[in-house]
């Protein structure tokens, strides 16, 4: 199962988080007013009534859920893709949290940019904010994206290093074990990794670290199957 556009339009993502908070899982969520304020503050940095580019590096590549008028590959510098946020609901649990991709400081990252038409910006960006910003694990940042010939200014969602669920300097073995075993209401963390790798490959992007991580996660899962069968 994956998040759907109808989930976002119906407010199901926010409801799911709020229900989790009331059931004893400690989650903080932004209110509708806070989401709108965050969105407006971000848009103030661009001319009014203009098209907006969004930089995608994870699930937004294989499950964008937004209306866009152009899509192209691009690279940003100063940020890299990393499993750096604990996920205790969608693809994990408090007892066995999964990990979520974010943009962390340093390096570079290849991904995809989407151009949203000016007329669609209010609705489409609010959906993205409800998806990416509601839990506070990301910060919206304007980044420069290069496609080989042109430079674009786009919104990217980077890891919030001040958030309690930010995973700083965790051992590789912890990352592999978490992704190999964690699962939640939206499916398994391993499926999230596999879909991201496949989505990147479909764009001609070979992320060597994620390809190695996929190999390690599959090996871990195989070892667990052998162990449970013995």
CA 85 to chain centre: 10
What is the 8-class DSSP label of residue 166?
Answer: B
Catalytic residue among 32, 41, 124, 132: 132
Phi and psi torsions of 186, nearest 5°: -95, 0
Q: Provide CB contacts within 8 A for 89, sequence distance 6+.
A: 16, 17, 20, 25, 27, 184, 185
Helix (H, G, I), strand (E, B) or coil at 134: coil
Report the length, in residues, of the chain.
230
Active site residue 34: no
Query: Which residues are registered as beta bridge partners of 80?
Result: 104
Burial code of 131-144, b = ≥16 C-beta within 10 A, e = fewer?
bbbbbbbbbbbebe
Give the integer Cα–Cα distance in Å for 145 and 147. Answer: 7
Residues acting as catalytic residues: 132
């Amino acid at each position: 199962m994956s998040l759907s556009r109808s989930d976002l339009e119906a407010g199901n993502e926010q409801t799911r988080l709020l229900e989790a908070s009331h059931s004893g899982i400690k989650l903080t969520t932004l209110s509708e007013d806070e989401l709108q304020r965050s969105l407006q503050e971000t848009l103030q940095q661009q001319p009014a009534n203009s098209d907006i580019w969004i930089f995608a590096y994870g699930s937004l590549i294989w499950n964008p859920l937004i209306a866009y008028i152009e899509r192209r590959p691009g690279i940003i510098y100063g940020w890299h893709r990393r499993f750096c946020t604990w996920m205790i609901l969608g693809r994990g649990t408090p007892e066995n949290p999964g990990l979520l991709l974010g943009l962390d400081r340093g390096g570079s990252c290849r991904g995809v940019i989407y151009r949203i038409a000016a007329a669609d910006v209010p609705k489409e960006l609010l959906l993205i904010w409800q998806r990416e910003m509601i839990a506070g694990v990301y910060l919206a940042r304007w980044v420069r994206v290069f496609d080989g010939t042109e430079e674009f200014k786009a919104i990217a969602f980077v890891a919030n290093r001040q958030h309690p669920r930010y995973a700083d300097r965790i051992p590789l073995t912890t990352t592999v074990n978490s992704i190999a075993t964690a699962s939640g209401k939206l499916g398994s963390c391993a499926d999230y990794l596999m879909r991201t790798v496949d989505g990147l490959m479909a764009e001609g992007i070979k992320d060597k670290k994620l390809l190695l991580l996929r190999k390690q996660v599959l090996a871990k899962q195989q070892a667990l199957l052998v162990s449970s069968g013995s």
